[in-house]
């Protein structure tokens, strides 16, 4: 139920756990973030809790998510890295708001049209083939490391027309790791000012500074060249809207930083969890291969095959449901709003936990099971649209969604046709949730050439 604005001030605050004096629920949240969200769900679909960082309101029903992201996005503004005081103030697409966001999104959209996405397919297949050519029969690989390097190579070649050196790839992966650690709920530094010289803050400042310097060098090298290409970096450098506005130097650099981090990290995790699941469900892997034989045959996977890879699509959706690479979204109400008869004030950060809603038994049968068939049409009927939102939704949905889904389809097709996978290690996952849903321990598989 949504209450009219005029009535909101008289409504009660949402229920929720009180926690400890001063600390609120901070201790419970740090000890077990997802267990805490499960406990929060026992209070209802609109739940308030407090931490040392402030007040939060968890929205746990797809209808509320749809309202925030799609139906009333202007009443709920983006919460970015800046709001969590990690010592940086980015002006990239993910973090900015209002007119600045609209201008940047308009500038970048040409790099993500369907025609441009089609042009990225060959690079995706070629880079994947080059990567797995280095794998040896019987080798044990760490999935997140292998796919991080691969997706970074695909991204830099496709979007930026760049070939990354191994040192650069290592730096970018290291930056993604320390940024995730810096914002991980289990890291005490997330609750401390960024200017305090804690080991975590010092490590982040040092690594992020190296990353910025390297991106500045990439931009300078492109400017010094005579190549006026049509890749995303060229688009950013030449950006001009119909109104004549261009990107500032800060916006240019921060968008390079944003895409290098977010553009490869999330797809890498999607592939990691998909292969982790397939390695433990051999029957699903065989069904996937049967589809590849029928649709692709002996050819290399290509863009035109993707619409017919229905089974692959279901495997991807199921992996992203169970392990959404971004586990929680945050928004701030621009005014007092109401959900289910409760008042949510502008100073309460709204949390939209994909990880929790994607596993809610009200919307998913046997929610913890890996079951790609749940995505068959007849089993999806009646399910709320926003019971599943791994790429966000509404105007601010992930600009790279179609590119990411193309990568997931094509990489799985190349890899699964060439190798068998034997799971290594504990099948019960634990996580270090921060910006992204990274596993606490490396996910490894032993590969066998087919």
Backbone angles phi, psi at 312, to 5 degrees: -60, -40
| Residue 372 counted as domain residue | no
Output the domain CATH number for residue 291: 1.10.630.10
Together in a domain, 180 and 278: yes
Together in a domain, 232 and 307: yes
Together in a domain, 158 and 249: yes
**Of 143-157, 246-260, 435-449, which range is least confident?**
246-260
| Residue 44 counted as domain residue | yes
| pLDDT at site 245 | 58
Provide the token pair at 403. Answer: 């590119």
User: At which of 367, 399, 423 does a domain end?
Assistant: 367
| Residue 378 counted as domain residue | no
| Residue 382 counted as domain residue | no
Tell me the CB-side half-sphere exposure of residue 140, using CA atoms within 13 A. Answer: 6
Residue 352: strand, helix, or coil: strand
pLDDT at 2 over 70: no
Could you give the CA distance from residue 279 to residue 334 in angstroms, rounded to a whole number? 45
Together in a domain, 256 and 353: no
Together in a domain, 347 and 282: no
Provide the residue range defining the domain that includes 49: 1-71+327-367
Could you give the CA distance from residue 94 to residue 256 in angstroms, rounded to a whole number? 11
Q: Please give the helix or strand (H or E) that residue 78 lies within, else none.
A: strand 76-78
Together in a domain, 353 and 399: no
Cβ-based neighbours of 428, under 8 Å, separated by 6 or more = none
**Which position has the token pair 């050196």?**
165
* Reported pTM: 0.91
Provide the token pair at 150. Answer: 């691969």
| Residue 178 counted as domain residue | yes
Could you give the CA distance from residue 425 to residue 445 in angstroms, rounded to a whole number? 8
Together in a domain, 130 and 11: no
Could you give the CA distance from residue 315 to residue 302 in angstroms, rounded to a whole number? 18
| Residue 384 counted as domain residue | no
Q: 1: pLDDT confidence band, cut at 50, 70 and 90?
A: very low
Average pLDDT over the chain reads 88
Together in a domain, 263 and 307: yes
Q: Are 436 and 266 in contact (CB under 8 A)?
A: yes
Output the domain CATH number for residue 46: 3.30.43.20
Give the residue-averaged pLDDT of 61-70.
Answer: 98
Together in a domain, 200 and 123: yes
User: What percentage of the chain has pLDDT greater than the value 70?
Assistant: 92
Give the residue-averaged pLDDT of 304-313.
Answer: 97
| pLDDT at site 5 | 57
Q: 387: pLDDT confidence band, cut at 50, 70 and 90?
A: very high
Burial, 35: exposed, middle or buried (Cβ in 10 Å; 0-12, 13-18, 19+)?
exposed
Cβ-based neighbours of 29, under 8 Å, separated by 6 or more = 36, 49, 51, 185
Could you give the CA distance from residue 154 to residue 148 in angstroms, rounded to a whole number? 10
| pLDDT at site 368 | 96
Could you give the CA distance from residue 129 to residue 410 in angstroms, rounded to a whole number? 11
Q: What is the pLDDT of residues 390-420, one digit of tens each?
A: 999 999 999 999 999 999 999 999 999 999 9
Instruction: Indicate the pairing of strand 444-449 with strand 140-142.
Output: antiparallel
Identify the sign of the CA torsion 285, 424, 38, 389. negative
Q: What is the pLDDT of residues 325-370, one digit of tens each?
A: 999 999 999 999 999 999 999 999 999 999 999 999 999 999 999 9
Provide the token pair at 359. Answer: 């596993």
Instruction: Indicate the pairing of strand 348-353 with strand 54-59.
Output: parallel
Together in a domain, 102 and 168: yes
Distance of CA 21 to the CA centre of its chain: 34
Could you give the CA distance from residue 391 to residue 402 in angstroms, rounded to a whole number? 10
Together in a domain, 275 and 138: yes
Backbone angles phi, psi at 213, to 5 degrees: -60, -40
Together in a domain, 30 and 137: no
Count of domains forming the chain: 2
Q: Where are the beta strands (DSSP E) in 217-336?
A: 328-333
């Amino acid at each position: 139920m949504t209450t009219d604005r005029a009535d909101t001030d008289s409504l009660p605050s949402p229920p929720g756990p009180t926690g400890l004096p001063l600390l609120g629920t901070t201790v419970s949240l740090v000890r077990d973030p997802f267990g805490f969200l499960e406990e929060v769900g026992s209070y209802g679909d609109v739940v308030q809790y407090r931490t040392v960082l402030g007040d939060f309101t968890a929205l746990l029903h797809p209808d509320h998510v749809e309202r925030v992201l799609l139906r009333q996005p202007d009443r709920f503004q983006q919460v970015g890295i800046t709001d969590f005081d990690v010592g940086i103030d980015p002006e990239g697409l993910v973090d900015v708001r209002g007119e600045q966001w609209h201008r940047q999104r308009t500038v970048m959209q040409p790099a993500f049209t369907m025609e441009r996405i089609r042009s990225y397919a060959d690079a995706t297949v070629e880079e994947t083939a080059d990567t797995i050519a280095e794998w040896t029969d019987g080798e044990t690989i760490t999935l997140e490391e292998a796919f991080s390097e691969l997706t970074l190579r695909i991204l830099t070649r496709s979007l930026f027309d760049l070939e990354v050196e191994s040192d650069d790839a290592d730096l970018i992966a290291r930056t993604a790791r320390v940024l995730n650690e810096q914002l991980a709920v289990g890291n005490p530094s997330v609750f401390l000012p960024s200017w305090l010289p804690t080991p975590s803050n010092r490590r982040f400042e040092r690594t992020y500074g190296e990353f910025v310097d390297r991106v500045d060098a990439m931009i300078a090298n492109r400017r010094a060249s005579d190549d006026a290409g049509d890749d995303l970096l060229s688009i950013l450098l030449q950006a001009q809207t119909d109104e004549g506005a261009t990107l500032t130097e800060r916006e240019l650099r921060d968008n390079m930083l944003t895409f290098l981090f977010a553009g490869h990290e999330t797809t890498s995790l999607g592939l990691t969890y998909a292969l982790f699941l397939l390695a433990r469900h051999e029957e699903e892997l065989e069904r996937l291969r049967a589809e590849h034989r029928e649709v692709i045959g002996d050819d290399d996977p290509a863009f035109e095959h993707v619409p017919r890879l229905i089974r692959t699509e279901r495997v991807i959706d199921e992996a992203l449901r169970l392990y959404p690479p971004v586990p929680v979204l945050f928004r701030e109400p621009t005014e007092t709003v109401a959900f289910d008869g409760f008042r949510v004030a502008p100073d309460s950060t709204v949390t939209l936990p994909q990880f929790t809603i994607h596993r809610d038994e009200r919307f998913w049968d046997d929610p913890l099971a890996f079951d790609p068939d749940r995505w068959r049409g007849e089993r999806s009927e009646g399910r709320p649209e926003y019971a599943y939102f791994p790429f966000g939704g509404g105007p601010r949905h992930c600009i790279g969604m179609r590119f990411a889904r193309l990568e997931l389809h094509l990489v799985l097709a190349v890899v699964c046709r060439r190798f068998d996978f034997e799971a290594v290690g504990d099948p019960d996952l634990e996580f270090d949730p921060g910006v992204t849903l990274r596993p606490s321990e490396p996910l490894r598989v032993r590969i066998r050439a087919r």
